[in-house]
Structure 1
Amino acid sequence: MRVMAFGTYDTTVHPRVGILIEGLRRHGIEVVTCNVPLGHMDAGPMVPPPAAHPGIPRQRIRHARCIAELVAKARRAPRPDVVIVGYQGRLDIQIARRLFPGVPLVLDHLESVDDVADRLGQAAQAELRKVDRIEQAAIAAARLVLVDTEEHRRVLAPAQRERAVVVPIGAPQVWFDAASDLGPRARAGMRADHPPDLAADPLTGPDPATDPTTGLPQDSPTDFVPDFRPGEDLRVISFGLYSPVQGAPVIGAALSRLDGYPIAVTMIGRGLQAQRTRDLVGPNAPRVTWRTWVPEAELPRLVAAHDVCLGVFGTGAKALRLVPNKVFQGAAAGCAVLTSDTAPQRRLFGPAGLFVPAGDSDALADALRRLAQHPAEVARLRAAAAALARERFVPEAVVEPLVERLREIVDKRS
């Protein structure tokens, strides 16, 4: 089987396609790439802020040039058995359909137009809704539609769900390597020989027992060494866009309630709610370091040097359906994962994660206080998250459902 990864996707901005490529190759599938990265204005913490926004006409010119180069590359490439069109490929899939007639197309559909509107805020919604027809045409052109959670699959129309495959996002290998490269303190929370038992209800996930003293889950691995000790700061990191989905203001409000606790926080990113988040933190927060961006090569090691990785805390429809990149990456880097208590996140992490109600800054502050006072619990949560990541978040594990469907398609064509 020869699979082509096609489109204007950018793995430095959205690593999803790179994970798919690596996972397929680890299953022995030949993967060729036909890619001209377009780049995106919503690039997040690993891409420097643009010096100036180019405006719609310049964006369209840049897009046209990328498409021309993409077509030229495709015509030189060997004919594939299957074409996977990368994330944000609503237009790319129509080009692939014309370049490779009769070849099955797979659309990586992580985010609908409505989800983009939810992420970018009210100002963008009217403009984005104009491209809904383009999105529906892209889905119609695909033999398979990739989504990242069962909740996202249910948003599709009933006729489209039969062609949908749930493929979790996972984490690139560099995040696992970052955890291994750091010193003993950063690795201490990863000393677990066995992953936790994560058998769960298929829709709601487990409801683990909690320690009556700490209020934290008590059924994850226990053969660990505490990663930080009394008198040291609990190191907490949050990274990503300051968008309604992320719920960054919830984090800001929680930090304002942590005065006097040994907690050091790193906040990385930019976006619509950045200033509001800073304002909410106020003068009574623990030590907070603010960074607009971090080079792509540095972010995994920076995250791995922290004890706790914060997930998403928004209350919008998309926030309740997704499992974000950052929680996969944080777990792979050996951090304890603290995120909102949503069905897909609890189902995925079970006792390997710590959850608070979405949008509840008081509950988030309380969880951080408890973690700061119980180093052993932090180490245990780190061990559980790292073990789960090594078992389920590596590229070859997340693509297993896709590999099965691709082989069915190619076998039928043969």
Structure 2
Amino acid sequence: MLGFGTYERAKHPRVGIILDGLRQRGHDVKEANRPLGLSTAERVTMLQQPWRLPLLVLRLLARWTSLAVAARRTARSHRPDVVIVGYLGHFDVVLARLVFPRTPIVLDHLIFAADTAQDRGARGLRVRLLGLLDRLALACSDLAVVDTEEHHALLPRRTRGLVVPVGATHEWYAAGRSASRGGTSPSVVFFGLFTPLQGAPIIAEALRSARERLPELRVTMVGTGQDYAEARRILADDDTVTWMDWVNPADLPRLVAEHDVCLGIFGDSHKARRVVPNKVYEGLAAGCAVITSDTPPQRRALGDAGVLVPPADAEALADALFSLTADPKALARACAASGARAAGFSAERAVEPLESALKSLVA
């Protein structure tokens, strides 16, 4: 098997989970990878603002030239039976189809470009064009891997799709095993890109209310983005909140695992109701109690291991935070439940359905 594309493992761990999981299950997996060096937000911005596209095109062409050479070199000594195109591979899958015209191609279609842009405020022609890009990418693949049943329902009728949970990397499990909790003050952490899907203003309102009832609650907010300024405005009077604009990805698991509660997402957009975000799986693996919105995919993923609240309901989130963090025994039970549930989302376990599908794909 060959992992192929401009993906970046550190920023977008999904592809690493898939490739590492297949390795752990005994498969010989090589990689032809030339990271593009752009974040998800930067890619979406470029697709929304056409005047920025030349930069994307030039960088993509440079990476593609190197990627095609690397892929052909690898193929001479290791002809892949399957090519797996990593997350954010809408363009990469086109190159993969050109370089490997007769090899089955799996596209990790974790996000739909049109859906993501629409969730971040895009409308009209740009969304329609990104919809065409989604369809082109899917047409170049033999199997599209998505993360929830709700995303599977968005695939075109003739597209072969498979649901594979995002899972978490081994670094999160290691951080959870070595974490020391149980300090005198309960703690909660949120990390993300502050997109509407995540509902940062709702989180801020809830934190303000919860801390009025439980002043010793420690809060850490990690990241920046679209709703960052509004979240800071809501919590402006609380100078005990720790704000961290950026944390090295290698250091993030340890930081999160040092907290008692990890917050998921709380937006009420259509996209927010279709996803289980990375941070939910990572919070479980880190051994934190997880609070997130009560949506069908998150309910399926968490079962009884998470605390679920209605989307976009700051008061319900505040109540859940207070009830959990004010009761040390309840908090300890929630953390233990997270650890037990997380066992099913390791890389090796997450790729089980993909391994079965690959057998029929290459038959």
* Interval containing the TM-score (normalised by the shorter chain): over 0.9
Q: Which residue in 2 is equivalent to 1:24?
A: 22
Contact 1:85 1:105 (8 Å CA) reproduced:
yes
3-state SS of 1:312 partner: coil
Unaligned runs of 5+ in 1: 45-53, 187-226
Alpha carbons of 1:112 and 1:313: their partners in 2 closer, same or farther (altered >3 Å)? same
Q: Which residue in 1 is equivalent to 2:294?
A: 341
Q: Which residue in 1 is equivalent to 2:156?
A: 157
Contact 2:5 2:86 (8 Å CA) reproduced:
yes
Equivalences, count = 350
Q: Which residue in 1 is equivalent to 2:94?
A: 94
2:244 and 2:295 map into 1 onto residues whose CA distance is 28
3-state SS of 1:238 partner: strand
Query: Are residue 172 (structure 1) and residue 169 (structure 2) matched?
Result: yes
Q: Which residue in 2 is equivalent to 1:384?
A: 337
2:136 and 2:164 map into 1 onto residues whose CA distance is 22
Alpha carbons of 1:43 and 1:297: their partners in 2 closer, same or farther (altered >3 Å)? farther
Quote how far apart the aligned CAs of 1:101 are: 1.7
Query: Are residue 362 (structure 1) and residue 277 (structure 2) matched?
Result: no
Contact 1:13 1:43 (8 Å CA) reproduced:
no
CA displacement, residues 114-136 of structure 1 (integer Å, 9 cap, x when unaligned)? 222134323x7753532322221
3-state SS of 1:73 partner: helix
Query: Are residue 249 (structure 1) and residue 196 (structure 2) matched?
Result: no
Query: Are residue 316 (structure 1) and residue 269 (structure 2) matched?
Result: yes
2:141 and 2:41 map into 1 onto residues whose CA distance is 26
2:136 and 2:57 map into 1 onto residues whose CA distance is 20
Quote how far apart the aligned CAs of 1:41 are: 3.4
Query: Are residue 269 (structure 1) and residue 208 (structure 2) matched?
Result: no
2:106 and 2:248 map into 1 onto residues whose CA distance is 31
Contact 2:11 2:39 (8 Å CA) reproduced:
no
Q: Which residue in 2 is equivalent to 1:14?
A: 12
Contact 2:119 2:269 (8 Å CA) reproduced:
no
Q: Which residue in 2 is equivalent to 1:140?
A: 139
1:39 to 34, 37, 40: 37
Contact 1:118 1:316 (8 Å CA) reproduced:
no
Q: TM-score, normalised by structure 1?
A: 0.81
Contact 1:256 1:282 (8 Å CA) reproduced:
no
Q: Which residue in 2 is equivalent to 1:280?
A: 234
Quote how far apart the aligned CAs of 1:303 are: 0.4
Counterpart AA for 1:16: R
Quote how far apart the aligned CAs of 1:408 are: 1.5
Quote how far apart the aligned CAs of 1:297 are: 1.4
User: How big is the alpha-carbon RMSD for the aligned residues of Structure 1 and Structure 2?
Assistant: 1.7
Q: Which residue in 2 is equivalent to 1:4?
A: 2
Query: Are residue 66 (structure 1) and residue 20 (structure 2) matched?
Result: no
Quote how far apart the aligned CAs of 1:155 are: 1.5
Unaligned runs of 5+ in 2: 43-50
2:65 and 2:119 map into 1 onto residues whose CA distance is 30
Q: Which residue in 2 is equivalent to 1:219?
A: none
Quote how far apart the aligned CAs of 1:39 are: 2.5
CA displacement, residues 192-246 of structure 1 (integer Å, 9 cap, x when unaligned)? xxxxxxxxxxxxxxxxxxxxxxxxxxxxxxxxxxx35xxx221100001110111
Contact 1:118 1:245 (8 Å CA) reproduced:
no
Counterpart AA for 1:13: K
Alpha carbons of 1:286 and 1:351: their partners in 2 closer, same or farther (altered >3 Å)? farther
Contact 1:117 1:125 (8 Å CA) reproduced:
no
CA displacement, residues 160-206 of structure 1 (integer Å, 9 cap, x when unaligned)? 2xx111000000000001112233xx3xxxxxxxxxxxxxxxxxxxx
Contact 2:201 2:234 (8 Å CA) reproduced:
yes
Q: TM-score, normalised by structure 2?
A: 0.92
Contact 1:118 1:125 (8 Å CA) reproduced:
no
2:289 and 2:124 map into 1 onto residues whose CA distance is 35
Counterpart AA for 1:168: P
1:322 and 1:286 map into 2 onto residues whose CA distance is 33
1:75 to 72, 76, 81: 72
